[in-house]
Structure 1
Amino acid sequence: MLKTCCTNTYSHDDNENLINITFISDTHEQHRKITKDLQKGDIIIHTGDFSNGECDENDMKRIQKFLCWFSKLPYQHKIFIGGNHDFAIKNIDKFNKLLSMYPGVTYLHQSSIEIPIKNITLKFYGIPYITYLLGWMFYLNDVEQQQSAQQIEQCDILLTHDVPYHSQHLQNRINEIQPIIHAYGHMHGHWGICQKNGVTYVNGAQMGFPGYSYIYKPIRIHITQNKTVILPDQEKIKIWEDFPIKK
C-alpha cells in the first residue's frame, strides 16, 4: 500500500463571482515538485503525461501515486486525460478499478462532463490522442484522427494532449465548435497562452526538454459568469502572438 499523501498549505484568491481554473500538464512523475506553486481553487486540469512512458509491473503504482497526489489537491473539481507517455492506462480494467477509489477525480477519454459551478455550467471534453510518434500510447493515424475530431462535442473547454497545430482535423473541429479554452500540453517549452479567433489556447506543460526539469509554473485562468476569459498577469505568463511552431 502507498503512504497517505502529505498535507500542504496553499495560497488562494477566492472570488465568489469568478471561476478559477488551474492548468498543468506533462509532470512526468515529478508532480510533487509543483505542489508549492498551486493555489487553492475551483478546478484543476491535467492534460496528460503524468508518467514517464515505462510499461512494466509498476504501472499501477505510478497511477496510484499520481491519483493520491491529484485527489488531495485543494480544488473542488479535478479532471485529467492521458498522454503519449501514459502506458499505464493501457490496462483499462485495472485502471478503472483504481480510478474508482478516487471519486473526486474525473478522467476523460473521448468523453465529456458538465460541471455546475457559481451559477453557470461549464462543459469539458477530453481526448488523449497524438498525431505522430507511432508506437506511443494514444497514437492515431490520419483516418483515426479525423474520426476522433468529428466526435468532439460542443463544449466550453476542450482538453487534448497534443497541440492544436499538429492535426488539421482537430483545428477544423475547434473552428467549428469555438470552445472558450483549448488546453493541451505535449510540446515542452511552448508553455503559455495564445489567443486566436476567439479561442484561448493554453499549453500547461511544466517540464523543460530535454531533461524534464521543473521550469514552468501552473497556469491559472479566471472565467466570468458570462464565460469571458480573464488572463493572468502578463509578467507571470508567456503570451504568444501566434502558435510557437506550426507543423
Structure 2
Amino acid sequence: MLKTCCTNTYSHDDNENLINITFISDTHEQHRKITKDLQKGDIIIHTGDFSNGECDENDMKRIQNFLGWFSKLPYQHKIFIGGNHDFAIKNIDKFNKLLSKYPGVTYLHQSSIEIPMKNITLKFYGIPFITYLLGWMFYLNDVEQQQCAQQIEQCDILLTHDVPYHSQHLQNRINEIQPIIHAYGHMHGHWGICQKNGVTYVNGAQMGFPGHSYIYKPIRIHITQDKTVILPNQEKIKIWEDFPIKK
C-alpha cells in the first residue's frame, strides 16, 4: 500500500536510500530558462510540449535544440514523452535517427522502461494522447482512447501529456493499476500536486496561462526504497485537493 508524507525534499538530496525525480513539462522552447532551477538528481522527466506547435522545415532543429539541452542535464536518467504541440515527432524516421545520437535519453510512446537504482526498480510507462484537440499531435477519439488506455502496463510511474479528467478511460485505467505517481502536463496554471486514492498526481507544466511565460519551478519528489512518496515542502508547491481528477 502506498504511504505518503509531506516534508522538505531538499534536505534529502544526498541520501543514498532515496531516489529523487524531477518533473518538468510544457517548456515550449523555453527550456534553457529553467536550467538555473534544476538541481542534480537521479531522474528527470518531461511530459510533453517541448515545442510550440509549428510544423515546418525547422522541426528537426527544434528537436535537436531540446535534446541537446536535455541530454546534458545532471541526471543519470532522462525520460520524455510528446505533447500536442510536438509536431516535429510526426516525422518518426528523422526523429528516431536524431534520438539515436542521444543514448542517455529515453523517449516513451506506448512503451515502458525499468530503471534499477538504489536497491529498487522503478517501471515507467509513457503515452502522450490528447482527448479533445482534433488536428493536434496525439489526438485520439473515444474509441482510440479506450484501446490505448487498456494497453497501459502495470507501472510505478505513469507519464501522459493530458490530464486524467479529460479521459474517463485513462482515469479508469489509473484506478486499476494504481501507479505510485501519475505525471502529466498540458494544463498551464494548474501546476502542482494532488494525492487521491493512493496515487500522487504531478503536473509539472512550467508555463503560465494565458501565454507561454516561465512561471512555475520544476517539481522534485523523492521515493524511498519501499516506494513511499516524499513530497516537497508545501510552502514551495501548490497542493490540490481534487484537480486533476475533477474539473
TM tier, smaller: over 0.9
Alpha-carbon offset, residue 246 of structure 1 = 3.1
Alpha-carbon offset, residue 60 of structure 1 = 0.1
**Offset from partner CA, 1:104-134 (integer Å, 9 cap, x none):** 0000000000000000000000001100110
Contact map agreement 2:6 2:230 (CA 8 A) in 1 = no
Question: TM-score scaled to structure 1, two decimals?
Answer: 0.94
Cα distance in structure 2, aligned partners of 1:69 and 1:158: 24
**Offset from partner CA, 1:139-165 (integer Å, 9 cap, x none):** 000000000000000000000000011
CA pair 171-217 structure 1, distance change in 2 beyond 3 A: same
Contact map agreement 2:8 2:233 (CA 8 A) in 1 = no
Contact map agreement 2:9 2:232 (CA 8 A) in 1 = no
Contact map agreement 1:5 1:72 (CA 8 A) in 2 = no
**Offset from partner CA, 1:4-39 (integer Å, 9 cap, x none):** 999999999221010000000000000000000000
CA pair 72-142 structure 1, distance change in 2 beyond 3 A: same
Alpha-carbon offset, residue 244 of structure 1 = 5.8
Identity of aligned residues (%): 96
Contact map agreement 2:7 2:232 (CA 8 A) in 1 = no
Query: What is residue 186 of structure 1 aligned with on the other side?
Result: 186
Cα distance in structure 2, aligned partners of 1:47 and 1:222: 18
Which secondary structure state, in structure 1, belongs to the residue aligned with residue 227 of structure 2? coil
Cα distance in structure 2, aligned partners of 1:191 and 1:2: 23
Which secondary structure state, in structure 1, belongs to the residue aligned with residue 236 of structure 2? coil
Alpha-carbon offset, residue 2 of structure 1 = 44
Contact map agreement 1:17 1:224 (CA 8 A) in 2 = yes
CA RMSD of aligned residues (A): 7.1
Contact map agreement 2:129 2:138 (CA 8 A) in 1 = yes
CA pair 216-112 structure 1, distance change in 2 beyond 3 A: same
Cα distance in structure 1, aligned partners of 2:199 and 2:4: 39
> How many pairs align?
247
Cα distance in structure 2, aligned partners of 1:57 and 1:67: 17
Contact map agreement 1:11 1:39 (CA 8 A) in 2 = no
Alpha-carbon offset, residue 83 of structure 1 = 0.2
CA pair 8-70 structure 1, distance change in 2 beyond 3 A: farther
**Higher alpha-carbon deviation: 209-218 or 93-102:** 209-218
Contact map agreement 1:152 1:173 (CA 8 A) in 2 = yes
Contact map agreement 1:11 1:40 (CA 8 A) in 2 = no
**Offset from partner CA, 1:210-240 (integer Å, 9 cap, x none):** 1200000000000000000000000100000
Cα distance in structure 2, aligned partners of 1:183 and 1:7: 20
Contact map agreement 2:3 2:228 (CA 8 A) in 1 = no
- Structure 1 runs (4+) deviating above 6 angstroms are 1-12
Cα distance in structure 2, aligned partners of 1:246 and 1:44: 27
Contact map agreement 1:156 1:179 (CA 8 A) in 2 = yes
1:152 and 2:152 correspond: yes
Which secondary structure state, in structure 2, belongs to the residue aligned with residue 57 of structure 1? coil
CA pair 92-12 structure 1, distance change in 2 beyond 3 A: farther
Unpaired stretches in structure 2, ≥5 consecutive residues: none
Contact map agreement 1:85 1:137 (CA 8 A) in 2 = yes
Contact map agreement 1:206 1:218 (CA 8 A) in 2 = yes
CA pair 6-67 structure 1, distance change in 2 beyond 3 A: farther
Greater RCO (Cα-Cα under 8 Å, separation 6 or more): 2
Cα distance in structure 2, aligned partners of 1:6 and 1:163: 23
Unpaired stretches in structure 1, ≥5 consecutive residues: none
